[in-house]
A and B are shown apart, each in its own frame.
Chain A
Amino acid sequence: MKSFRKELWFNLPTRRGFVNITPQVETCLQESGIQDGLTLVSAMHITASVFINDDESGLHQDYEKWLEKLAPHEPINQYHHNDTGEDNADAHMKRQIMGREVVVAVTDGKLDFGPWEQIFYGEFDGRRRKRVLVKIIGE
């Protein structure tokens, strides 16, 4: 069994944002030389997500509004977690809704996607360096 590991680094200029990381994951798969197996892509930070959905800007705006309604950033003092001096409790909630990781099948050396599947990094507490782990195992 072969195994491949790489970290992808991000530093978004805004608190929240979505980045399509599918091309970077595809590059990892090519570097790995693995033809058949599984790819794990996971956020290494607990205020960020990796998820699969549509690369459509309207949808991303909808996610932003919807997440802010379900777990508002303000007032900051509504969250006990923020008593620790943090202001990112809402980001821990948003990340749970959008998920931590995706596992994608590798078939014939390609990510075995449905027609519209794209992998995204979801940032909910940005403006600092954060990373995503790509781990591929198979043959």
Chain B
Amino acid sequence: MAKFQSGKCDRLVNAMHITASVFINDDESGLHHDYEQWLEKLAPHEPISQYRHNDTGEDNADAHMKRQIMGREVVVAITNGQLDFGTWEQIFYGEFDGRRKKRVLVKIIGE
């Protein structure tokens, strides 16, 4: 089950787990529903046995695929102390194998 959470961070923001994403898109619940359905079609969770990765005892091979589609990180310019966004850009954490503690790294460089 994918969960998308909005956050306002910056410069380099990356998922530290390989079954999660950080991406920029619209904060619109219908679109998030569409992403969930679309990702499940492209990389279905079940049957679990369709993936060799799951032979290791995992059940999250689909999450590794979904994360590749949605991406690992975003890089956002900082101009005059602000995130240099277009009108609708918002940063999201995309979870594809949750129900455990996971992290996102935020690294900011500049002057």
| B-contact bits for A75-116, CB 8 A (1 contact / 0 none) | 000011111100001001101110111010000000000000
Q: Which residues of B contact A59 (CB under 8 A)?
A: none
The answer to whether B77 and A89 touch across the interface, beta carbons within 8 angstroms, is no
For chain B residues 8-46, which have a beta carbon within 8 Å of chain A? 23-26, 28-31, 33-35, 38, 42
| B-contact bits for A45-62, CB 8 A (1 contact / 0 none) | 110000000000000000
Count, A-B residue pairs, CB within 8 A: 80
Q: Which chain A residue has the least Cβ–Cβ distance from B27?
A: A46
The answer to whether A135 and B79 touch across the interface, beta carbons within 8 angstroms, is yes
Smallest CB–CB gap between B48 and chain A, Å?
23
Question: Which residue of the partner chain, among A46, A93, A137, contacts B34 with CB atoms under 8 Å?
Answer: A93
A contacts with B, residue count (CB < 8 A): 31
Q: How far is A134 from B67 in the complex, measured between Cα atoms in Å?
A: 26
Residue A19 at the B interface, CB < 8 A? no
Residue B111 at the A interface, CB < 8 A? yes
Question: Which residue of the partner chain, among A46, A93, A99, A131, contacts B88 with CB atoms under 8 Å?
Answer: A46
Tell me the dominant secondary structure on chain A's binding face: mixed
Given contacts A5-B77, A45-B88, A70-B42, contact A96 B26 (CB under 8 A): no
Given contacts A44-B85, A44-B89, contact A81 B30 (CB under 8 A): yes
The answer to whether B84 and A71 touch across the interface, beta carbons within 8 angstroms, is no
Q: How far is A79 from B88 in the complex, measured between Cα atoms in Å?
A: 19
Q: Which residues of A contact B28 (CB under 8 A)?
A: 81, 84
The answer to whether B79 and A100 touch across the interface, beta carbons within 8 angstroms, is no
Residue A40 at the B interface, CB < 8 A? yes
The answer to whether A100 and B34 touch across the interface, beta carbons within 8 angstroms, is no
The answer to whether B77 and A97 touch across the interface, beta carbons within 8 angstroms, is no
Q: Which residues of B contact A92 (CB under 8 A)?
A: 25-26, 31, 34-35
The answer to whether B71 and A96 touch across the interface, beta carbons within 8 angstroms, is yes
Q: How far is A83 from B31 in the complex, measured between Cα atoms in Å?
A: 10
The answer to whether A100 and B77 touch across the interface, beta carbons within 8 angstroms, is no
Q: Which chain A residue has the least Cβ–Cβ distance from B109?
A: A137
- B residues with a Cβ closer than 8 A to A are 23-26, 28-31, 33-35, 38, 42, 69-71, 74-77, 79, 84-89, 110-111
